[in-house]
């Protein structure tokens, strides 16, 4: 566990900042996986990502079963800088719990996390121009693809009301840190990894990693595979996920996924469907405003130069008349 702590600390210290971000024409959603992408949504852009899930949980040793459903909502907002994003992630769950001498229902916020993400390095800014004379040169393997975009995330968990899905003594407030990397291999494959240190000041802090590989099949469909591992003195597990997403419009995406863990203590199966929606009209307005301002400044410089040239011309004409 100490090695993971040192690795996270070393990664935070080694990352250097760059003053850039990226905005894409198509919506860039973190769903349907659980990993967080390195890129922000863009300044003034609002994005909502949510879904519902059903699950079945069974523990043979403790002889209990839990069946229920839940909802996930993730609100993302870009502000101040194009590479900065604020994020609110919530998860509410309700289930039927059965154990020896127990038959009850449970409900509450399983997760409520508020944080901010900042893109510190973007290798795609130095993307090479396409070779107009060679198709092979444009599609050959590039070692630069292994250089990832890097972002850092800092936030905190809040416990709202009674949380029946955690241990007694779990603090009402606990920090969360992440290092996020993102690689793009060719035009169809994207790899996102998250190194996570969660509930750092709690009695049972959790450390883990998520790796998500996404494949774009065409302009509408994409699929993903994901592995998540986390370790804590309270609970440790490995979860596999797979699913697909469908692009309805440039700013709307639908998705579905399945999740299964590897342990039998307990054995858990999740099924989820959801949607993502982006409101980016303010981003376009902001871009147009900046663009128009640049044109106005350029026009103003031309006008000043023109007036200066006219004044100089008049001065030259007067001097010429005096010589005559």
> pLDDT tens digit string along 46-79?
999 999 999 999 998 889 999 999 999 999 999 9
- Using the Cα atoms of residue 38, residue 41, residue 46 and residue 49 in order, give the sign of their dihedral: negative
Contact indicator for 34, 53 with CB cutoff of 8 Å: no
Mean pLDDT over 208-228 rounds to 95
Give, in degrees to the nearest 5, the angle at Cα 240 between 238 and 245. 145
pLDDT band per the 50, 70, 90 thresholds, residue 9? very low
More confident residue, 304 or 318: 304
Among 14-28, 41-55, 131-145, the range of highest mean pLDDT = 41-55
Q: Is 95 helix (H, G, I), strand (E, B) or coil?
A: strand
What are the CA-CA distances from residue 170 to residues 53, 157, 205, 236, 246 (Å)?
A: 25, 11, 10, 16, 38
Q: What's the DSSP call for residue 128?
A: P
Res. 97: pLDDT tops 90: yes
Q: What mean pLDDT do residues 126-143 have?
A: 57
Q: What is the CA radius of gyration of the chain?
A: 26
Of 114-128, 138-152, 283-297, least confident by mean pLDDT is 283-297
Which of 269-273, 282-286, 308-312 is least confident?
308-312
Query: pTM to 2 decimals?
Result: 0.77
Range of lowest pLDDT (62-76, 123-137, 268-282): 123-137
Confidence of residue 157 (pLDDT cuts 50, 70, 90): very high
> Using the 8-state DSSP alphabet, how is residue 33 labeled?
S
Q: Which of 24, 21, 9 is nearest to 253 (CA)?
A: 24
Closest CA to 85 of 34, 43, 125: 43
CB 56 within 8 A of CB 250: no
11 pLDDT band (50/70/90 cuts)?
very low
Strands 206-216 and 149-158: unpaired
Q: What is the pLDDT of residue 247?
A: 96
């Amino acid at each position: 566990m100490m090695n993971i702590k040192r690795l996270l600390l070393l990664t935070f210290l080694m990352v250097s900042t760059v003053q850039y971000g990226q905005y894409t024409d198509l919506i860039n959603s973190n769903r349907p996986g659980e990993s967080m992408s390195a890129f922000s949504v863009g300044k003034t852009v609002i994005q909502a990502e949510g879904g519902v899930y059903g699950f079945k949980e069974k523990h043979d040793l403790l002889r209990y079963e839990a069946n229920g459903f839940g909802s996930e909502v993730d609100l993302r907002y870009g502000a101040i800088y194009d590479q900065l994003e604020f994020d609110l992630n919530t998860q509410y769950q309700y289930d039927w719990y059965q154990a020896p001498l127990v038959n009850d229902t449970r409900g509450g916020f399983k997760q409520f996390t508020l944080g901010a993400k900042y893109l510190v390095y973007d290798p795609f800014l130095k993307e090479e121009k396409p070779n107009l004379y060679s198709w092979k040169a444009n599609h050959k393997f590039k070692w630069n693809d292994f250089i990832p975009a890097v972002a850092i995330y800092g936030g905190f968990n809040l416990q709202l009301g009674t949380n029946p899905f955690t241990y007694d003594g779990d603090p009402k407030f606990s920090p969360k840190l992440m290092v996020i990397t993102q690689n793009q291999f060719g035009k169809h494959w994207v790899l996102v990894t998250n190194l996570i240190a969660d509930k750092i000041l709690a009695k049972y802090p959790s450390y883990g990693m998520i790796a998500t590989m996404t494949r774009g099949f065409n302009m509408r469909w994409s699929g993903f595979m994901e592995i998540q591992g986390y370790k804590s003195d309270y609970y440790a597990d490995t979860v596999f996920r797979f699913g697909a997403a469908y692009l309805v419009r440039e700013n709307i995406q639908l998705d579905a996924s399945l999740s299964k863990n590897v342990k039998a203590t307990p054995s858990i199966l999740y099924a989820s469907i959801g949607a993502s929606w982006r409101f980016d009209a303010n981003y376009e307005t902001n871009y147009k405003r900046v663009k128009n301002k640049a044109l106005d400044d350029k026009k103003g410089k031309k006008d000043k130069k023109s007036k200066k040239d006219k004044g100089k011309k008049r001065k030259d004409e007067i001097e010429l008349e005096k010589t005559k």
